[in-house]
Structures are given as structure tokens and as C-alpha cells.
Amino acid sequence: MQFKTIIEPFRIKTVERIRLTTPEQREEYLQHAHFNPFLLHSDQVIIDLLTDSGTSAMSSAQWAGIMRGDESYAGASSWLRMEKAVQDLTGCPYILPTHQGRAAEHLLYTRIGGAGKVFISNTHFDTTRANIEFSGATAIDCPIPENSDPALLHPFKGNLDTAKLLENIEKYGPENVAAVVLTVTNNSGGGQPVSMENARQVSEICKKYGIRFILDACRIAENAWFVKHREPGFEHTTYREIAQQMFGLADGCIMSAKKDALVNMGGFLALRDLDLAVQCRTVLIITEGYSTYGGLSGRDMEAIAIGLEEVFEPDYLHYRIKSTEYLAENLHALGIPIMRPAGGHAVYIDARAFYPDIPLDQYPGQVMVCELYRLAGIRCCEIGSVMFGKYDASGQLIPATMDLVRLAIPRRVYTQSHIDYVIETFEELRKHRAKASGFRITYEPPFLRHFTAHFATI
Ligand code: F0G
């Protein structure tokens, strides 16, 4: 018999109190935070769906590993365990530990980027784009066209458009393409998976033109679930083997361990090219720490080695993907416009479709984010014109392709009743829709403005 209840495949051993707040308190907190939930304090939040990054609950095995952490400066046994775990998974010989994903991005993209260079991706994540642009290079997104229609069903909506990739290689010249970066799953493109076939085609194109192929692999295990269940030919391949095959197609990878390594902090850069590894390692030692710990403690590295095993457990991955789908399908049943099919780590709501009367330069995504907090203390993140919007020469907003709101689900943290509370909140949100008003930005920094921008109600 197939049960329809998705049972969490773990028991709870330690609990963390959630402070329940009143609507009046939340209104006050929101105003203090300039209507930017990144500026809220965590104890002002009831359900925190801001990110799935660094918010995992670690297992008892990982906590036991923490106690075993070897804090030696050089050659710690915890480092050797992490190095081996990453080598076995990625097949790359050269592993550089970093304190998180963006540090690995900075090491690699400042080495291979710079003025005149371009990077092409299915969609660059915001820190990826920022690191590339910071180096002086240009980041070009080439998701398949299906990706920009939130309601359209497609099994691998995260794929890179290989025709556009070829066009861009022609346009800029292969010698100027610093790397093709395939983000799996495609976070900024809705958490959608990338097929093995697509990764293979990208790999072949890169080989033909002598271009570096880098995987941004922070959700590679979740991506492997989709490959196994949606792509013919992988029914009998394990999740881990699927991930290994995908890594095998690339010249290297960047991984934020804060996602699919099930830890609170950490990351790495893995490379096949010794020269490039040596160049990056030199900067690693200057900026992050010695090459056998990067910015990490021994205990962090121990937990990463264990997390990289646990994340491929079939019961875990089944629960993970199915519980994200549970949230998505319940919201869909309520008539909330969401990106379908559900992604791996998050549900993305089409705020533009939910608030058709709010102009794009009044940020419908930010409106939804603030309304969810007001109503129920739910914190989540806008992925739209606040995060990716630019200005034209006259100062007019050039909006992002979509205005999405992301409900990112921390791994092994919330139970089904928490998720049911979120679903109920959306029933309320529908009733309040007509009363919502837009925002203008009153302060913004030059890069990654969504983290610290201030807003005012119009
Ligand atoms: N690449 C992708 C696809 C990511 O989603 C992230 C982080 C990074 C790189 C950078 O890793 O945070 O360890 O420095 N994403 C988080 C998120 C922040 O909320 O989606 P990091």
C-alpha cells in the first residue's frame, strides 16, 4: 500500500522554540526593517522560508562528527575526510575548501573573468552574477524559453538553451567565453531541474570550442531525484551515480555546502586543471585560510563529509521533493499562480500574476513578501525586479523577466503542520489582495541591493 501522508523520515531529538507574534508586533517590526524582511530579526519570524541555505537541521551522525572534528591547522583528518568525500562524488582531483559558495565563486571567477570576458549560464544566481560582474566580466543568462512561462509544465525547465549558447559563443568568440556555468537545480530560474541530456549537450559544445564547463552544484542531489524520475534511462541508476555522471561532464564545480551537504556553513571549489587549481589556491590562502581548511573549522568539514552521504539517501530525497510538491500543489489548488511543476527546494509564486494591478516599478514581489509576513510571520524572499532589476539611462526600472516570490524550504526543519499553516495563510492573502499597495525604493547599494534596500509604501 502506498501511503499518501509524506512521513518525515527522522525523529526530532532537539527542539528550538518559535516565538509566536501578534499582527501589531509584526507591523512594527516590518516598519523598523524598512519593509525588507532581510532586515528582520529571526525571533520576529514564525516560519522562516527566506532561504534553504545554511538552515538545515543536522543529523545525530553529523553532530557526532562535530565532536570528532580535528582542528589542526594543516592536514587535519577532518579535511582528509571531506576531501575524499568531494573527490569521490565529483571525480575532481583538486579540492579547495571555502567558507561558503560565494567564496569559491570569487576565487574562480576573478581568476578566469575580467573585462572583455563573458560567462554563459542557464541562470546565474545573484552572488554568481555579482562575482562575475565585480571582476569586470559580463554574465549572460540563457534559460530555455519555457522557463519564463511560470504555468507551463516541462520536466526540465531549468535547462540551458543550447541554441542561444551557440549564438553567444559566435557573437563573443569562444576565446572570450570564460566559462559556461550550469546551475543545478536552476535556483533563480524557479528551482527547476536540468536534465542529464542538457548537461551532456552543454559539455559537448564546451569541448568543441575549448570552453570551460563549470557546474554550480549546490542542489545536485535534488536535481538527481528529478533525473531519476523524469528522464528515461535513469530508473535504475542511484541518485549518487546520477550526480557523479553529471559532475563527470564538467571541468569543475562550485558547491555551497549550505544546501545539499546539509550543513550550516561551508563550500568548496573542485577542479580538474592543476594550473588553475594552483592559481586559485594561492588566493585561497591569502583570503580564506590555509589550503586544508579554507575558511572552515575541522568540525564543519567533518559535517560536510557526512552530509554529502546522507543527502543521497532515497528516503530523504523522496521526502524532500515530495514535501515541496505538497506545498506547491496545495497552493495551485487554491488558485495561487505558482511556477509549475514544483522545483526541488522551493515553491515560487508568480507575484506579477497575483497582483496584476501593482505596476512592476512598484515591486509586486516585495508586496507579497511583506503581506505574508504581516499576516502570519512568514518570511520569504523576492526573486524579481528588486533582486535583478536594472535602470536605463533615464533612471526607469528595467524589470526582471519575472517577479517571483520564493518560499524556500529548509532541509529537515519544518513538519507538515508548519507547511499547512503556510497554505492557510495563502487563503487569507487572497482575501487581502485588493488592499495591497506598492513600494518605492528609498535606499539601495550598488550591488546585491535586495539584501539591504529600504522601501516605503506608495
Ligand atoms: N549558487 C547558487 C545556485 C546558490 O543558490 C547560492 C546561494 C550560491 C551559489 C552561493 O552560495 O550562499 O554559500 O555563498 N544561495 C542562497 C539562496 C543564498 O538563498 O538561494 P553561498
pLDDT band at residue 126 under the 50/70/90 scheme: confident
Quote the domain boundaries for residue 368.
Answer: 23-52+313-457
pLDDT band at residue 3 under the 50/70/90 scheme: confident
pLDDT band at residue 447 under the 50/70/90 scheme: confident
pLDDT tens-digit readout, 336-384? 999 999 999 999 999 999 999 999 999 999 999 999 999 999 999 999 9
**What does the pLDDT read at residue 401?**
86
**Is 270 inside any structural domain?**
yes
Q: Is the peptide bond before 185 cis (omega within 30 degrees of 0)?
A: yes
- The answer to whether the beta carbons of residues 412 and 57 sit under 8 Å apart is yes
Neighbours of 271 (CB within 10 A): 26
Q: Are residues 74 and 202 in the same domain?
A: yes
Question: Is residue 2's pLDDT more than 80?
Answer: no
Question: Is residue 20's pLDDT more than 80?
Answer: yes
Q: Are residues 327 and 381 in the same domain?
A: yes
Please classify residue 132 by burial: count the beta carbons closer than 10 Å to its beta carbon, then call 0-12 exposed, 13-18 middle and 19+ buried. Answer: buried
**What does the pLDDT read at residue 150?**
86
Which CATH number do you get for residue 409? Answer: 3.90.1150.10
Q: Are residues 79 and 187 in the same domain?
A: yes
Q: Which of ligand 1's atoms lies nearest the C-alpha of 258?
A: 13
Give how many domains the chain has, as a whole number.
Answer: 2
Asked which of 310, 344, 359 is the last residue of a domain, the reply is 310
pLDDT tens-digit readout, 369-378? 999 999 999 9
Tell me the three cell numbers of residue 421: 499553516
pTM of the model: 0.95
**Is 7 inside any structural domain?**
no
Asked which of 310, 342, 357 is the last residue of a domain, the reply is 310
> Which residue puts its alpha carbon closest to atom 16 of ligand 1?
53
Q: Are residues 263 and 383 in the same domain?
A: no
Q: Are residues 200 and 236 in the same domain?
A: yes
Q: Are residues 264 and 354 in the same domain?
A: no
CA of 256 to the centre of ligand 1 (A): 6
Mean pLDDT of 250-274: 98
**Is 12 inside any structural domain?**
no
**Is 367 inside any structural domain?**
yes
d(CA 146, CA 158): 9
Q: Are residues 292 and 384 in the same domain?
A: no
pLDDT tens-digit readout, 132-143? 999 999 999 999
Q: Are residues 347 and 247 in the same domain?
A: no
pLDDT band at residue 123 under the 50/70/90 scheme: very high
Q: Are residues 198 and 70 in the same domain?
A: yes
**What does the pLDDT read at residue 446?**
87
**Is 10 inside any structural domain?**
no
Q: What is the mean pLDDT of the chain?
A: 96
Q: Are residues 377 and 303 in the same domain?
A: no
**Is 381 inside any structural domain?**
yes
Q: Are residues 273 and 338 in the same domain?
A: no
DSSP letters, 106-161, are: HHHHHHH--TT-EEEES---HHHHHHHHHTT-EEEE-B-GGGG-TT---TTTT-B-
**Is 82 inside any structural domain?**
yes
Q: Which of ligand 1's atoms lies nearest the C-alpha of 50?
A: 19
Which CATH number do you get for residue 226? Answer: 3.40.640.10
Q: Residues enclosing ligand 1, CB less than 6 A?
A: 51, 53, 100-102, 125, 127-128, 183, 187, 216, 218, 256, 258, 267, 408
Mutate to test the pocket of ligand 1, among 38, 48, 51, 53 (most ligand atoms within 8 A of CB): 53
**What does the pLDDT read at residue 1?**
75
pLDDT tens-digit readout, 40-69? 999 999 999 999 999 999 999 999 999 999
Mean pLDDT of 319-334: 97
Asked which of 310, 329, 347 is the last residue of a domain, the reply is 310
Mean pLDDT of 441-456: 93
Q: Are residues 100 and 183 in the same domain?
A: yes
Cβ-Cβ contacts under 8 Å for 156 (sequence gap 6 or more): 192, 193, 194, 195, 198, 226, 230, 231
**Is 13 inside any structural domain?**
no
Mutate to test the pocket of ligand 1, among 132, 183, 187, 347 (most ligand atoms within 8 A of CB): 187
